[in-house]
Structure 1
Amino acid sequence: MADKNEWGSNMSFILAMIGSAVGLGNIWRYPYVLYSNGGGAFYIPYIVAILLMGIPFLILEYGVGYNFKSSFAKAVKKINSKCEYIGWFLPVAVFMIMIYYSAILGWDGIYIILSFFKGWGADPNSYFITSVLQSSDSYLGLLQFVPLVAVAMLAGWVIIWFISHRDLEAGLGKVSKVLVPLLFIIMVIIVGFSLTLPGASIGLSELFNPDWSLLTHFEIWMAAFGQIVFSLSLGMSIAFTFASYTKDDSDLVTNTISIVLANSLFENFAALGVFSILGYMSLQSGTAVADLVTQGTGLVFIAYPTVFNVLGNWAFILGPLFFLTVYLAGLTSILSTIEPLSFSIQNKFGLSRGKTMTVLIVVGAAVSMLYATGYGGSLLGFVDTFINQIALLLGVVAECIIFAWIFKAEKLIDFLNSHSKTIKLGKWWLVIVKYILPVFIAVIWIGGMIDVFNNGSIDQLNFTIISALILVIASLMFTILPARNPEWDNAKERV
Structure 2
Amino acid sequence: MTTSVSPAPEGRETWTSNRGFILAAIGSAVGLGNIWRFPGVAYEGGGGAFLVPYLIALVTAGIPILFLDYAVGHRFRAAAPLAFRRMWRKAEALGWFQTAILFVISTYYAVIIAWSLSYFYFSFGTKWGDDAKTFFLSDYLKVGDPGVSTELVGGVAWPLIAVWGLIIVILALGVTKGVEKLNVIGLPLLVLGFAALVIKALTLPGASDGLNALFTPDWGALTDLNVWIAAYSQIFFSMSIAFGIMISYASFQRRKANMTSSGLVVGFANSSFEILAGIGVFSTLGFLAHQQGVGVGDLEGITGPTLSFITFPAVISQMPGATLFGALFFGSLAIAGFTSLISLVLGVSVAFQEKFGLSKTTAAVTVGVVSAIVSFALFATTTGLIALDTVDQFANNIGIVVSAIAMCVIAVWLGRTIETLRGHLNAVSTFKVGKWWIPVIGLYAPIFLGIMLIQKVYDLVQNGYEGYPTWYVGVFGWGTVAFLVAFAVVFTAIRWGGRDDSTFAPWPPLDSSATTAAAAGKEAVR
TM bucket by the smaller chain? Answer: over 0.9
Alignment match, 1:160: 167
2:478 maps to 1:469 = no
Tell me the CA shift for residue 53 of structure 1: 0.6
1:372 to 371, 380, 384: 380
Residue 150 to residue 8, structure 1, CA distance change in 2 (3 Å): same
Alignment match, 1:129: 137
Q: Distance in 1 between matches of 2:136 and 2:336?
A: 21
Tell me the CA shift for residue 152 of structure 1: 1.6
Tell me the CA shift for residue 144 of structure 1: 2.4
2:63 maps to 1:55 = yes
Alignment match, 1:68: 76
Q: Distance in 2 between matches of 1:425 and 1:477?
A: 36
CA contact (8 A) 2:398 2:481 kept: no
Alignment match, 1:425: 433
Alignment match, 2:494: 481
Tell me the CA shift for residue 350 of structure 1: 0.4
Equivalent positions of 1:275-424 (< 5 A) are: 275-292=282-299, 293-312=301-320, 314-369=321-376, 370-405=378-413, 406-422=415-431, 424=432
Alignment match, 2:519: none
Alignment match, 1:7: 15
Alignment match, 2:35: 27
Q: Which moved more, 1:82-91 or 1:25-34?
A: 82-91
Q: Distance in 1 between matches of 2:251 and 2:506?
A: 12
2:446 maps to 1:438 = yes
Tell me the CA shift for residue 485 of structure 1: 4.5
CA contact (8 A) 1:63 1:416 kept: yes
Opposite residue 35 of structure 1, the aligned amino acid is Y
Tell me the CA shift for residue 462 of structure 1: 3.0
Opposite residue 193 of structure 1, the aligned amino acid is K
Tell me the CA shift for residue 61 of structure 1: 1.2
Tell me the CA shift for residue 149 of structure 1: 1.0
Opposite residue 491 of structure 2, the aligned amino acid is F
Q: Which moved more, 1:485-494 or 1:462-471?
A: 485-494
Opposite residue 400 of structure 1, the aligned amino acid is C
Q: Distance in 1 between matches of 2:13 and 2:125?
A: 43
1:492 to 506, 514, 523: 506
2:217 maps to 1:210 = yes
CA contact (8 A) 2:78 2:247 kept: no
- RMSD (CA atoms): 1.5
CA contact (8 A) 2:255 2:428 kept: no
What do the CA deviations read for 1:355-403 (whole angstroms, capped 9, x no partner)? 1011000000011012111110000000000100111110111111122
Q: Distance in 2 between matches of 1:393 and 1:138?
A: 26
Q: Distance in 2 between matches of 1:247 and 1:403?
A: 23
Opposite residue 486 of structure 1, the aligned amino acid is R
Alignment match, 1:268: 275
Percent pairwise identity: 37
Residue 223 to residue 174, structure 1, CA distance change in 2 (3 Å): same
Q: Distance in 2 between matches of 1:420 and 1:161?
A: 34
CA contact (8 A) 1:105 1:327 kept: yes
Q: Distance in 2 between matches of 1:64 and 1:373?
A: 39
Opposite residue 131 of structure 1, the aligned amino acid is D
Q: Distance in 2 between matches of 1:493 and 1:12?
A: 20
TM-score by length of 2: 0.91
Q: Distance in 2 between matches of 1:291 and 1:100?
A: 31
What do the CA deviations read for 1:11-43 (whole angstroms, capped 9, x no partner)? 111000000000000000000000000001111
Q: Distance in 2 between matches of 1:252 and 1:2?
A: 18
Residue 489 to residue 2, structure 1, CA distance change in 2 (3 Å): closer
Alignment match, 1:192: 199
Tell me the CA shift for residue 469 of structure 1: 2.9
CA contact (8 A) 1:146 1:374 kept: yes
What do the CA deviations read for 1:387-424 (whole angstroms, capped 9, x no partner)? 001111101111111223314211233332344334x2
Unmatched tracts of structure 2, length 5 or more: 509-513, 515-526
CA contact (8 A) 1:64 1:403 kept: no
User: Secondary structure of the equivalent of 2:37?
Assistant: helix
Q: Which has the higher contact order (CA 8 A, sep 6+)?
A: 1
CA contact (8 A) 2:256 2:429 kept: no
2:248 to 241, 252, 267: 241
User: Secondary structure of the equivalent of 1:338?
Assistant: helix
Opposite residue 414 of structure 1, the aligned amino acid is G
Q: Distance in 2 between matches of 1:184 and 1:389?
A: 28
Q: Distance in 2 between matches of 1:48 and 1:283?
A: 34
Tell me the CA shift for residue 307 of structure 1: 0.9
Opposite residue 166 of structure 1, the aligned amino acid is L
User: Secondary structure of the equivalent of 1:257?
Assistant: helix
Unmatched tracts of structure 1, length 5 or more: none
Q: Distance in 2 between matches of 1:365 and 1:234?
A: 24
CA contact (8 A) 1:79 1:407 kept: no
Q: Distance in 2 between matches of 1:237 and 1:475?
A: 13
Q: Distance in 2 between matches of 1:169 and 1:404?
A: 33
TM-score by length of 1: 0.96
What do the CA deviations read for 1:124-149 (whole angstroms, capped 9, x no partner)? 10000001110001304x13221221
Alignment match, 2:511: none
CA contact (8 A) 2:73 2:247 kept: yes
Opposite residue 480 of structure 2, the aligned amino acid is S
Opposite residue 412 of structure 1, the aligned amino acid is L
CA contact (8 A) 1:88 1:341 kept: no
1:258 to 252, 255, 265: 265
Q: Distance in 2 between matches of 1:407 and 1:72?
A: 17
1:449 to 441, 444, 457: 457
